[in-house]
Amino acid sequence: MIIEMSAGLIRGLGTVVVFVAFVGLTLWVFNRKRTPEFAEARLLPFADEPQPETISTPETRSTRP
């Protein structure tokens, strides 16, 4: 039996592959085991910002010699 690879068959197989990839990605993203990993990744855009310094009381200095 010879299977003829028509354009419709190729498009159908492509649709099945994309659908399986979508379902797999959806299950991977919404897996509860990955919640801590994604919580850490959510803060990555702020990783290069300088940390605020601790608030200290300003020292009063005299400008007189």
> Which residues contact residue 9 at a Cβ distance below 8 angstroms, ignoring those fewer than 6 apart?
3
Is the pTM value of this prediction over 0.85?
A: no
Question: Is the pLDDT assigned to residue 43 strictly greater than 80?
Answer: yes
Is the model more confident about 43 or about 19? 19
pLDDT of residue 56: 63
> Which residues contact residue 58 at a Cβ distance below 8 angstroms, ignoring those fewer than 6 apart?
none
Q: Whole-angstrom Cα distance, residue 24 to residue 26? A: 5
> Which residues contact residue 3 at a Cβ distance below 8 angstroms, ignoring those fewer than 6 apart?
9
Are 28 and 34 within 8 A, CB to CB? yes
Mean pLDDT score across all residues of the chain: 83
